[in-house]
């Protein structure tokens, strides 16, 4: 299925995102060089998971058109755009599956014309339409007009009872979708990840969440990992660095607290854009020990 993870950090002035690359096809799974992370707007992104993700692309395309008309997008506007596109696609598919073969439409079934149908047939059609779900989950992150980080999800299908109703994740400030979500959420909760954490520390915990999400079926080992900040170019951590540094670090810590060697690894990520992100250090000892920016 997949594992996508996102977390607010740096007092909600940055967001870290991670996603695997696994795709399932008839009778097989593979990890091609694709991404499950899509840009909706200069400050808004979406990740997707599901057993049949084809409907997600129409939803994303529709949402991108709406986002493109706005210079800045508030949380309420983002939720409205994505949920509207989601419900529109679900209605279209339900109509095509249950009504079109009969020569009917949603408009017609909701009108007085439907009274010509036997009551049992009409009620059964309505039940099928109401029960239909899209087998996809969307995790949307971004920054509102004030540059404040936001995160919400839209999920449907058998694994959720929300039926596509958007869910905000201001608390705890992180979320995961896909079959690996439970392992990822457990580890991020164990690490007490919060929006107040420095970017480099959150970078590790998001990567670690995805790492533990890999124990679920259908989650690939390859990883896309991004840091986004309002009004600034995104930072993409190269896959080679993820494998050689972060995943080895996940395996070594399992799941002990970050030590100085781990801090050195995280501070060792450099580059034109990465250098703008402050390094971190360990402050205090014992129960008072914490990580702060230098």
* Three-state DSSP state, 74: coil
Which residue in this structure is represented by tokens 């996603």? 19
Q: Give the span between the Cα atoms of 184 and 207, in whole angstroms.
A: 9
- Contacts of residue 122, Cβ cutoff 8 Å, sequence gap at least 6: 109, 114, 115
Is the Cα torsion angle 72, 223, 184, 30 positive or negative in sign? positive
CB hemisphere CA count around 241 (13 angstroms): 15
The pLDDT profile of the chain, 294 residues, written as one tens digit per residue, is 799 999 999 999 999 999 999 987 666 788 889 999 999 999 999 999 988 889 999 999 999 999 999 999 999 999 999 999 999 999 999 999 999 998 999 998 888 888 888 889 889 998 999 989 999 999 999 999 999 999 999 998 655 678 899 999 999 999 999 999 999 999 999 999 999 999 999 999 999 999 999 999 889 999 999 999 999 999 999 999 999 999 999 999 988 889 999 999 999 999 999 999 999 999 998 878 999 999
**C-alpha pair distances (Å), 210 with each of 65, 66, 95, 202:** 30, 31, 37, 12
* CATH H-level, domain 4-92+132-238: superfamily: Aminohydrolase, N-terminal nucleophile (Ntn) domain (3.60.20.10)
Whole-angstrom Cα Rg for the chain: 21
pTM recorded for the entire structure: 0.91
One DSSP character per residue, 169-185 reads: -TTTSEEEESTTHHHHH
Q: Cis omega (within 30 of 0) on the bond before 136?
A: no
Which structure tokens are listed for 218? 């259908």
CA distance 107 to 152: 31
Query: Residues with Cβ < 8 Å from 5, sequence gap 6 or more?
Result: 17, 18, 19, 174, 175, 176, 184, 188, 206, 209, 210, 213
C-alpha 242/C-alpha 57 separation (Å) is: 27
Structural contact between residues 145 and 42, judged by C-beta atoms closer than 8 angstroms: no
How far is it, in rounded angstroms, from Cα 3 to Cα 225?
A: 12
In which residue are the tokens 């404040």 written? 148
What angle is formed at CA 12 by the lines to CA 11 and CA 18, rounded to 5 degrees?
A: 120
- On the question of a cis peptide bond just before residue 172, with omega within 30 degrees of 0, the verdict is yes
Strand partners, 23: 30
Which one, of 48, 46, 43, lies nearest residue 63 by Cα? 46
Tokens of residue 128, six digits: 């099928």
- Residue showing tokens 């991404």: 35
């Amino acid at each position: 299925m997949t594992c996508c993870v996102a977390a607010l950090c740096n007092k909600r002035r940055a967001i870290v995102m991670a996603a695997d690359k696994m795709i399932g096809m008839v009778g097989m799974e593979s990890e091609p060089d694709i991404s499950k992370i899509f840009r909706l707007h200069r400050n808004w992104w979406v990740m997707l998971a599901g057993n049949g993700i084809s409907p997600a692309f129409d939803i994303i395309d529709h949402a991108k058109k709406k986002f493109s008309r706005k210079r800045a997008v508030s949380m309420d506007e983002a939720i409205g755009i994505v949920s509207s596109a989601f419900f529109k696609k679900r209605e279209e598919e339900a109509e095509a599956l249950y009504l079109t073969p009969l020569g009917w439409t949603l408009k017609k079934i909701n009108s007085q014309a439907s009274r010509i149908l036997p009551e049992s047939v009409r009620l059964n059609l309505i039940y099928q339409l109401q029960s239909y779900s899209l087998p996809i989950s969307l995790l949307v992150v971004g920054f509102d007009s004030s540059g404040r980080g936001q995160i919400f999800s839209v999920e449907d299908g058998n694994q959720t009872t929300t039926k596509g109703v958007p869910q905000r994740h201001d608390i705890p400030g992180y979320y995961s979708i896909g079959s690996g979500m439970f392992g990822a959420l457990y580890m991020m909760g164990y690490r007490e990840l919060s929006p107040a954490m420095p970017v480099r520390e959150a970078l590790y915990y998001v990567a670690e969440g995805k790492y533990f999400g890999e124990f679920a079926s259908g989650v690939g080992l390859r990883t896309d990992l991004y840091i986004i900040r309002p009004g600034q170019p995104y930072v993409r951590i190269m896959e080679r660095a993820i494998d050689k540094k972060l995943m080895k670090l996940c395996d070594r810590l399992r799941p002990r607290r970050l030590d100085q060697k781990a801090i050195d690894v995280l501070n060792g990520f450099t580059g034109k854009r990465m250098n703008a992100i402050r390094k971190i250090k360990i402050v205090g000892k014992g129960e008072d020990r914490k990580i702060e920016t230098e």
